[in-house]
């Protein structure tokens, strides 16, 4: 009898423990994660990049750089977007996962990841864009030849996607 009660107690305890870790993360734990990840720095970079993009479009805008940046700072702030960020994290992570992420980003490796990954991702994105551009240029040449052939022969049906991508 004592073993049955002890067994049932253990099952109930672990059941509640597992349920508490599987719950939707709290706003507070997500805010702690956001602070730990220094997301305010990310938004600072977004403001700078967006400002630079506008100035690049017209060099005369350089005189208004601080006004442009201030506009982005006022309209795209971490604080203003925190409710949306919270909803996104709540859909993807449990409370336990948020706590584990926070712990990870407080570690040396987590801090390194936060510093290195943005540049690494930018480089990987650039590689992907270069490859996509090469493939797109080649596909355009192939498609132009196929379209020209179809126009010359006029009665033929369009070639299928499978024949287009076989280059």
Q: Are 17 and 85 in contact (CB under 8 A)?
A: no
Determine the straight-line distance between the first and last CA of the chain, rounded to whole angstroms.
Answer: 74
Rounded Cα distance, 116 and 107, in Å? 14
pTM exceeds 0.75, yes or no: no
Q: Domain boundaries in the chain? A: 24-106, 111-167
Tens of pLDDT along the chain (167 residues) come to 555 454 545 555 555 455 555 699 999 999 999 999 988 888 888 899 999 999 999 999 999 999 999 998 888 888 888 999 999 999 999 999 999 999 999 999 999 999 998 888 889 989 999 999 899 998 888 888 888 888 777 655 555 555 555 54
Is the separation of the CB atoms in 100 and 32 below 8 Å? Answer: no
The CA-based angle 98-30-118, given to 5 degrees, is 80
User: What are the structure tokens assigned to 4, written together?
Assistant: 């049955």
């Amino acid at each position: 009898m004592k073993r049955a009660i002890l067994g049932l107690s253990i099952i109930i305890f672990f059941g509640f423990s597992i349920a508490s870790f599987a719950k939707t993360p709290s706003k507070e734990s997500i805010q702690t994660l956001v602070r730990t990840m220094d997301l305010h720095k990310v938004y600072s970079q977004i403001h700078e990049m967006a400002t630079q993009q506008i100035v690049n479009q017209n060099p005369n805008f350089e005189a208004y750089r601080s006004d442009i940046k201030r506009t982005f700072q006022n309209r795209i702030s971490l604080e203003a977007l925190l409710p949306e960020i919270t909803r996104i994290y709540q859909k993807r992570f449990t409370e336990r996962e948020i706590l584990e992420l926070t712990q990870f980003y407080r570690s040396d490796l987590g801090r390194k990841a936060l510093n290195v990954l943005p540049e690494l991702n930018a480089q990987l994105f650039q590689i992907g864009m270069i490859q996509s551009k090469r493939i797109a240029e080649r596909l355009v040449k192939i498609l132009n030849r196929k379209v020209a052939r179809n126009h010359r022969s006029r009665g033929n049906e369009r070639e299928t996607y499978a024949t287009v991508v076989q280059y």
